[in-house]
Structures are given as structure tokens and as C-alpha cells.
Structure 1
Amino acid sequence: MQEELFLQVLNMSFTGSVVILCVVLMRLLLRKAPKVFSYALWSVVLFRLVCPFSFESALSLLPVNSEPIPSDIVYAAMPQVHTGIGAADRVISSSLPGAVPYASINPLQIWVFLGSLLWLWGIAALLLYSIFSLIGLKRRLGTAVHDKENIYLCADIDTPFVMGVIRPKIYLPDSLSGTEKEYILLHEQTHIRRIDHVVKILSFFVLCIHWFNPLVWAAFFLSGRDMEMSCDEAVIKKLGNEVKKEYSSSLLALATGRRIVGGTPLAFGEGDTKGRIMNVLNYKKPAFRVLLVAFMAVIILGLGLMANPKVGENFTGAVYSVDEILYDAPQYSFTYTTDSAPQYNISADYVLFRKEISDQDWVMLGSLYKYPLTRQEQYRLFNPLNNKAHENLDKVKTIYRADLKDKNQTFILVMEQKNGDVLLAHGYDHSGSPHVRWLFRLNKAAEPEANEQANQPKPQGDTAFGTTNAEPVEKVQGHSTLKKT
């Protein structure tokens, strides 16, 4: 349970990181718009970091897979991650330790268990630090004097802040003049009216969960900055532009004060005084078209990043038979028919297996990773290129590759077409010029029970990844001919 929760948090943290980068970019584009729009965008980040699921939409703007780490990765024979970024998938997956035959526990299980312990210790350390900070702050508030309503004045603080959730209290330095007190009090009351004090506390607890992610720390402080600036703008909008100088002076009067630690739960103060003053002095009532464009941009980007990409039926976790042979390189003497062609098993963790008609056991060929190829690069793999192969290549949307690492440098391309059909190309790269020998159209034959074949392969031979020994190469009429033995 602990490890599964940790893996789920890693998935949310990865997706949240991508959304954070998108929001940071949008903040730059919205720098002329009121800060309330930038502040609103951080709600999408909060959603992604808290909610382990979302809705699917064809209009999703999320450029990656929302669940790159499979929940059962620790039990996979060859662990794979699927971020949607091919280069990252190859680097990360190649560094993950595979299962050890006949071992009682997989190495990755140990990694994940230790990682989950470190994650929990980090959460505990942050919470304890905040609790002690809160206790220390309450001691300093022992001399606070009630002013009116929920407002308190205290000589031992130098910066105003809000404390509490259900009945939040406003604490102000007793050194504020009458005008400064009016402006700062209105600012803090605006925070409470917008429920910013609750948002800040929730953000802190989300930060505790994702403490290991530096982008989440950046989002925590940037969102706090947008919160303060949008609140400043709300005050200026209410009082009018003529108070901008006086309001800025009140902020400057507090600039030398000790800032309340942003991570202290149930209390938060003000920060980035210089940036806030510059924003106040430059604030102008935006034109209607600016508001309209900013509003539409926030709505489109917000909904687009909240939605997961819509995907069709997954081609993994199934056994396939060869339904049609679309291409058979003419320079080879041996060929397959649909009756004699092998079966293929693509496990849920993207590991490819093959079973010849004469065999009883599945042979592990290797792990699949995304392998982008241009249309022309696909065409050059076929010599000569016939019409069937050409027509089917034009319909391919995603390509995955597995390398057998035998002496013929055999590679397998699994191609997913736009209509959901699956093609499999079997090729060689031993001569330095990769070419395809067969191109099959696959037909889903069965859904293996718990993918039993994939989880318990029986490797044959001594080549890498448990592949069969490479077929002998023989030169015939200037071509490399591979005989079936």
C-alpha cells in the first residue's frame, strides 16, 4: 500500500511538473494582464498534484502521459516507464533494474520501498518543522491586544498576517499609522474574503507531499507572489488609482520587517515587497479586450491541462497472431505464411515476446520504446517498397522499437495505426543499412490472464534479453540470406 501510494504520487508529481512549466510560460504571456488570471492558473497545478485521476478529452493540451509509471512496475520482468517522451523513456527505462530469475524479490521493489520511506520521512520533517514554527509564533503573539472584530495588534511582529482557518484572525504590527493600518487591513480582509488563507494552507500540505520536486517548491512561492499581487490590485481597484503612492508607502514601511515563514501552517505573511510595489505603481485598469483575451486564455489552458489526452484501446497486454503478410523481402529464401507465422505477446509493461508454431514457450525479445521515424525513413527500410507496405505506412501514428542485440542486430518495430490496427516489422541492421524483412498485420488473438506468459518467460539461448540464438547468415547472390534452422 505504501509503495503503491508513493508510485501514484510520483505520477502526479511528474504530470504536475509539466503543468507547472506550462503555467510559468503562460505567466510570461499574461504579464500585462491583471495578476488574478495568473493566480487562477495555479489552481490547475493544485488539481494535478492532488487528484490522481482526471477526465479524458480530445482537446487536452497535456503533452505527456498522465501515468508514466505503471502501478505494477515493481513486478515487471523488464520495468518500463512511458512518459510520452521517447528519449526520456529510453534513458530512464534502461537504468531500471530488471527482475532476477528465481529471486524472492525484484531489485526495483527494494528501490521503491526505500524511496517510499524517504518520502514519508521528508513529509514528517516538514510537518514537524512547521508545527514548531507555529508554536514559536504563538508565543510571540502572547502580547497581542484585541483591536476590533477579528483584528489584533502586536508589538512583537513586524509584518501583518492572517492566522486560522474557520475563524481567521488578522494580526497587525502596532507600529502602523492610521493610513497604513487602513490599507494593510483592507489587503488582509481581501485575502479572507477570497479564502486565500485556506488556499495557502492547502498549498503547503501539497508541498509537503511533493517535497522532493523542486518545481513544486517554485510553484508554491510563485503562486504566493501572484496571490499577493492580485490582492494588491483588488485593493487599488476598490480605492482608486490615486492611493497607489500611499499604498506603496505602507508596503515599504513593512519591508524591513521579519517575514513570516511561508511554510508555517495556519499563518502566512507578505513577501516580495519590491515586486509588489512595482506592480502597484504600474497597475492600470486594463482594456476590455485585454480582460477578454486573458480570460479566454486561462479557460482554454486550464481545461486543456486538466484533461488527459484521449486514447483509444491500448494495444498492450494482448496476444497477437499474424493476420496478413504485407511485405516479404525478396532476397531471402525462407518465408512465412499466415499459418506458419509466429504469435506475438505485448505485455502491459511494453515487453515483446514471440512464440513459434513449433514451440511451447514464449521467448522474450526485448522491451519496446517509442521510436519516432519520418515517413521517408520508414520507406527506406523497404527495398523494394510495395504498394501494400506504402499504403499501411501512411496510416501509422506511433512506432515502438525493440532491439534483440544478436549478431544480426535484429530489430522489431511495432506500429500502431490511426484506426487502432497494429503492424509488426521484423528487420536487420547487421550490414549497417537497416532493412525490413517482414511486415505483418497483427490480429488480437487473446487477452492473456494477468499476462501470465509475459511475467514468466522462459528465455532460450544465451543472448541478451533471453532472445534465441541468431540465425546463421549466408551470402547468396550478393545478398545476406538468413536460413531457417
Structure 2
Amino acid sequence: MTLSLTSVFILEKSIKSLFLLAIIFLVRPILNKKAFRSASIILWMVLLIYLISPYELEIGIESVKGNSILIAITNFFNSSLGWLVNKIGSIFFKLNRLIGSVLIFTYLGMKIYRFNKVMKGSTLTYNTLCKEKIREFGLKRKVEIYINNNLKTPLTFGILKPKIILQDHILADEKLLNHVLIHELMHIKKFHILLNHLVNIVACLYWFNPLLWLSLKYLDQDIEINCDKLVVENLGDTRKNRKAYCSSMLKLVEREFYENNLYLKLNPNIERMNIIKNWKKTLLGLISFILAFTLSLPAFANVTDLSQDRVDTQGEVVNNIEVNIDNRVQKISDQDYKKLELGKLSVRESDPAKVNEKIKLGSFEKTSYEFELNNDKNEGFIINLKDMSCSGGIKYQVFIEEDGEIIYDKRFASDSILKVKAQKGSAYIITVSNEYNKKLLGEVSINTYASK
């Protein structure tokens, strides 16, 4: 078995993430009511890490009887996914960086504008209970509390210098004030504000997948549920304290209904109050979490069959969507490569094959080389791609066709050497495709070989 890290395109991650979302939505109601406090948040974090990370774990295993089903399913999924990416990738990748960047800068601009607008109508308060509660939390960051009656519910801004915005009616109710302060200070202590920004930025990056960014909105609700549980633990997890906290949330809900202004997406709601009233850690909740977490891990890995590789590869593989026919390949090292007797390629349809040239491929461009093998002394051919460079990161794909049939398809992120055992009289087409929106430079040489 071999392990390696491979780069993965954002479009592929978007499609695979739907599997993780299905798991989260299946177990989310159970976890919120019956599992430990952070169970659902952990699953959401697994999803976010997967979406942000540019890598997947590449697992290579020898094909044995026990793994045949796993290999078949994985190969079918990757082949189908690769076909989809190749079909729409050339259009999508040109737009994604531009649109994603515009959305992120627009989001940040709106946040700055909203913050300035809120702060202009806010007044700093020096309420004694507020100061005492801040001291109790022992936060190293300075927290300031403001009053703004233009807002209907509490609001917290800022990561390094957080500011809590309250209303006069909250200050007038000591019990309500205590619960609200604990809730908002818990958000600050656990860096939920940073997590919320991260979620919104991920939604901007995956703008092309509305199902994904609409689903991420449920993470906001689970963050609030997690914070509610933290508040209950801080107060002392008793039936009386749970009831008192729910009563405080109900006051905010009733005020919102009376004012007819649902201004904030993180407002208290009936789902949160029901969960706080009925939350109880059970064995079912723990088993559900363990099962969901275990099922989510395969999204981070891609399984390949080592015994069916037809082409030996030297170089960092980005992602394998393999089409291999027969077991006609053996692994070689640089030393083995130097021992081979290299020769020139034959001519196909009166066109001389380009056996040694520098390449300069624009964004998503490709180049092809055609030749035939007719010499009995030659065992096959060598494809040597060296000095590959790209300002945005090397991502290219190599296709090998034999008599019109694709026998090899793999992506790379560095220089690579491919040794292929060939069939006499067969015609071959080698295609190198740049899969990044920056210019790819390098050198390609193709030669026949025979052992010395």
C-alpha cells in the first residue's frame, strides 16, 4: 500500500462535498438532541476543511479479491467525475477565479459598510453588570459593549477587538442581560465570528454550487445551538436554568414578532429552544456521530489499484482518473532510465514525430504527438516531461491513445517520466494538456527504448 497527497480541482471537491452534506443532514437532528455538545460542529468542520484544503489522500493498494468491489466503485466514480470535469472544466476554470474574487471582495466590502453603519448609531455603555461579566470570562481581548436601539436583537462584531451591540430593553432586564451577555461572550471566546466569516468566504468560492452554499446556512444555526449549550453549561445544567434561558430567548422572539422585523439570521427560534429543553447525551447520539464521522473520511481519499498500472510514473501525481489496459508496465528509477537504449520514433502519415521540443501551453491548451512503432528491437517508448513550470502551480494531464483507444490518463504536478510497453505495428497519440489558467512551460521528449 502507498500513501501520497494529490491536488484536487475545486469543481471535483464541489461534487464530492454533496456526499458529506448528505451525511450531515441525515444525522444533524439526532446529534443536536442526543449527542455531545460539539458533535454537529465537528462534522461541519470536516466539511469546511475538505472544501478549503487543495489536497486529497491518494491510497494505492494491490488489487485483491476483498478489495475488488471498492476498486470498481472508486474507479467508476472517478472516471465519471473526470469525464464531467474535462467536459466543463475549460469553461468553468476561466470564470471561477474572477467571479470568486469579486464575490469575496464584495462580501468584505459589505461587512465593512454594515459595521460602520451600525457603529455610527451606537453608544458606548459602562454598565456595571456588563463589566463584571466580561471580567468573569477572563478574555485577553478587549470587549466593548454598545447600545443601539435601531437594531432589534443583540449583535457582535469583530475578532481581535470585539464589540457587542445591545438594546435598552435588554439592559433593563437583569436576567435577560445576563443570559445575552454570556451568549455573546461565548461566541467571542470560541471564535465563532471567525468561523462565520470562513463559512461565508467558502460560499463565495463555491458560488457555482447553490445547493452547497444554501446548505452552509444551516451551519449558522448549529453554531447558535452549540453556543446555547455552552451557556447552559456556564449557568449550571439544571432544568431550572434551562427553562430560565429558554424564557429569555422567548422574550427576544416575542419582541421580534411584535416589531415585525426579522433583522438578523442568528435570532432565537423554536428549534433552538426545543433542543435546549430536550438535549440529552445518549448512546444513540454517540454511535450516530462515530458512524457519520467514519463515513465522511473516505471523501478525503482516492483509492487506486497498483497492480493494474500500465504506465510507470516518476513525478508527483495530482489526481488519478485512470484508464489502464493490461499489465504492461514496470516501475523504473532515474538510474534505470539511464540504462535504456533510446531511439527515434517512426513516421506516421508522412508527419515526422516531434521527439524533443520545448512546449508553451496557454491556459487549458494542449499539444499532441503521433507516431507508430514498427521496429522489433524496441520494447516501447519513453515520455520525458522535464523543467515543467507555471506561475500558478503545475497542473497538467497526459493521455496515451493506442490505435484510437485511451490506455492511460493521469494528472501531474511536477516533472514526470513515463515508460510504456508498446505493441508492434500500433499507432499512438500522446497528448499533454495544461489544466491551469496560467501558461505552462517545459520540455517534452519522446523516444523508443530497448534494454542494453
How far 1:210 moved relative to its partner? Answer: 2.1
Task: Tell me whether 1:445 sits opposite 2:421 in the alignment.
Answer: yes
Deviation for aligned residue 1:340: 12
Alpha-carbon separation, structure 2, partners of 1:95 and 1:321: 23
CA contact (8 A) 2:252 2:268 kept: no
CA shift at 1:89, angstroms?
A: 5.4
Q: Distance in 2 between matches of 1:213 and 1:260?
A: 26
- CA shift for structure 1 position 226: 0.9
The residue identity in structure 1 corresponding to 2:154 is: P
Alignment partner, residue 460 of structure 1: none
Q: Does 1:353 align with 2:401?
A: yes
Out of 122, 129, 143, the residue aligned to residue 103 of structure 2 is 122
Separation (CA, whole Å) in 2 of partners of 1:345 and 1:23: 47
| Letter aligned with residue 210 of structure 2 | P
Q: Does the Cα contact within 8 Å between 2:310 and 2:420 map onto a contact in 1?
A: no
| Aligned equivalent of 2:24 | 23
Q: Give the direction of change, closer, same or farther, for the CA distance of 1:321–1:93 in structure 2 (3 Å limit).
A: closer
State which of 216, 225, 239 in structure 2 corresponds to 1:229: 225
Aligned residue for 2:281?
A: 286
Offset, 1:178: 0.9
Q: Per-residue displacement from partner, 1:297-341 (whole Å, max 9, x unpaired)?
A: 465345x246413434483766999789xxxxxxxxxxxxxx799
* Aligned residues between the structures: 313
Alignment of 1:306-317 (within 5 A): 307-313=300-306, 315=309
User: 1:323 and 1:312, CA in 2 relative to 1: closer, same or farther beyond 3 A?
Assistant: closer
The answer to whether the 8 A contact 1:191-1:231 is kept is yes
Q: TM-score, normalised by structure 1?
A: 0.53
User: 2:304 is paired with a residue of what secondary structure?
Assistant: coil
Corresponding residue of 1:191: 187
Quote the residue 1:161 is aligned against.
Answer: 155
* 1:39 Cα offset (Å): 1.5
- Map of 2:11 onto structure 1: 10
Instruction: Pick the aligned partner of 1:253 from 244, 251, 254.
Output: 251
Query: Which amino acid is 1:203 matched to?
Result: V
Q: Distance in 1 between matches of 2:429 and 2:401?
A: 8
The 1-side partners of 2:121 and 2:198 are apart by: 24
- The answer (yes or no) to whether the contact 2:56–2:302 under 8 Å persists in 1 is no
* Counterpart residue type for residue 157 of structure 2: M
Determine the C-alpha separation between the residues in 1 that align with 2:325 and 2:58. Answer: 31
What SS does the aligned partner of 1:11 have? helix
d(CA) in 1 for partners of 2:189, 2:108: 27
3-state secondary structure, aligned to 1:454: strand
Gap runs ≥5 in structure 2:
1-6, 62-68, 135-142, 314-323, 329-375, 384-395, 410-418, 423-427, 434-452
Partner of 1:244: 242
- Please point out which of 152, 155, 175 is paired with 2:145: 152
Amino acid corresponding to residue 47 of structure 1 in structure 2: I
- Residue 254 of structure 1 and its aligned partner are, at CA, apart by 1.6
Q: Work out the CA distance in 2 between the residues paired with 1:367 and 1:445.
A: 11
2:34 is paired with a residue whose SS is coil
Aligned-residue RMSD, C-alpha: 4.5
Structure 2 letter corresponding to 1:244: R
SS, match of residue 146 in structure 1: coil
Question: Relative to structure 1, is the Cα distance of residues 216 and 137 closer, same or farther in structure 2, using a 3 angstrom cutoff?
Answer: farther
Runs of 5+ consecutive residues of structure 1 not aligned to the other structure: 1-5, 69-81, 97-107, 263-269, 325-338, 355-362, 370-442, 447-451, 458-485
Contact between 2:59 and 2:301, CA under 8 Å: does it hold in 1? yes
Q: CA deviation at 1:203?
A: 2.1
Question: Which residues of 2 match residues 76-475 of structure 1 at below 5 A?
Answer: 84=77, 92=84, 95-96=87-88, 109=90, 112-141=93-122, 143-147=123-127, 148=131, 149=134, 150-154=143-147, 155-176=149-170, 177-237=173-233, 238-239=235-236, 240-255=238-253, 256-257=255-256, 258=261, 270-271=266-267, 273-283=269-279, 285-287=280-282, 289-290=283-284, 292-294=286-288, 296-297=290-291, 299-301=293-295, 304-305=297-298, 307-313=300-306, 315=309, 351=399, 353-354=401-402, 363-365=403-405, 444-445=420-421, 453-455=429-431
Name the residue aligned to 1:395: none
Q: In 2 relative to 1, CA 130–456 (structure 1 residues): closer, same or farther, beyond 3 Å?
A: closer
Which residue does 2:34 correspond to in 1?
33
Bigger helix share: 2
Q: Is the 8 A contact 2:154 2:164 kept in 1?
A: yes
Kept after mapping to 2: 8 A contact 1:322/1:342: no
